[in-house]
Amino acid sequence: MRQFIYGMAIILIFATPFMRTLFESYMFLHMHMQMMLLFIAGLLMAPLLQQKFPNFFEKFNKNGVPFMIIFVTIIIYWMLPRAMDEALELWYVELFKFVSIPLLAGVTLRDSFRKLQPFARFIFMVITALTFGITGVLYTSSESQLCNAYLLADQISVGIGQLAIGVVILAFVFLITFTDQSQYYKNPYDDAEGSS
């Protein structure tokens, strides 16, 4: 319950006009602070939703794969330069951002992560890392502005950030693939969602 309140609080605070203006003024604040915090808000909101609607999660996300497909789709969408610009221009894209990132990326990932078989988890994490890596290369190497609303220099710094996040995810994949996680937990699938 407390986690849910924290998550909700993050969303509400970041939805205020002041915070939106502040966090959308620079590309890295928009993409790597605002969107990341919305994602974390989603992670925090997951347990209560799982408690309240156990049947829903059991029925539609039995082994974790379905929600991971949604998760990957949503993060790919929000890495399109066009989505960023449209969030600034169109109110419904902005609204979609505040709904889709917490619910369709944050909640889905937390629910799926512990249900996934190790191999599927490995595959999805590599896909996620690759998505960050590819957009990172795109943003750092593009000679023209991809987002009309942001400067070229901002775009390059965001690209470097994307690459860094990709590397961190890959490092985490290596960590959980080549170390024996069971020594840290009673049941490796019970509580492995800690870092993501």
Question: Counting contacts by CB under 8 A, is residue 77 touching another protein?
Answer: yes
Residue with smaller CB distance to another protein, 51 or 145: 145
The secondary structure of the chain as a DSSP string is: -HHHHHHHHHHHHHHSHHHHHHHTSSHHIIIIIIHHHHHHHHHHHHHHHHHH-HHHHHHH-SSSHHHHHHHHHHHHHHHSHHHHHHHHH-HHHHHHHHHIIIIIIIIHHHHHHTTS-HHHHHHHHHHHHHHHHHHHHHHHH-SS-SSTTS-HHHHHHHHHHHHHHHHHHHHHHHHHHHS-GGGTSSSTTTSTTS--
Minimum distance from CB of 171 to another protein (Å)? Answer: 27
Question: Counting contacts by CB under 8 A, is residue 65 touching another protein?
Answer: yes
Q: Which residue has the tokens 């502040």?
A: 22
Question: Counting contacts by CB under 8 A, is residue 62 touching another protein?
Answer: yes
Identify residues 147-186 at the interface with another protein (CB under 8 A). 147-152
Question: Counting contacts by CB under 8 A, is residue 56 touching another protein?
Answer: no
Minimum distance from CB of 22 to another protein (Å)? Answer: 16
Minimum distance from CB of 43 to another protein (Å)? Answer: 21
Identify residues 78-107 at the interface with another protein (CB under 8 A). 80-83, 85-86, 89
Q: Which stretch binds another protein (CB under 8 A): 3-11, 38-46, 47-55, 62-70?
A: 62-70
Question: Counting contacts by CB under 8 A, is residue 70 touching another protein?
Answer: yes
Question: Counting contacts by CB under 8 A, is residue 40 touching another protein?
Answer: no
Which of 93, 108, 88, 114 has its CA nearest to residue 191? 114
- Contact residues for another protein, defined by CB under 8 A: 62-63, 65-66, 69-70, 72-73, 76-77, 80-83, 85-86, 89, 145-152
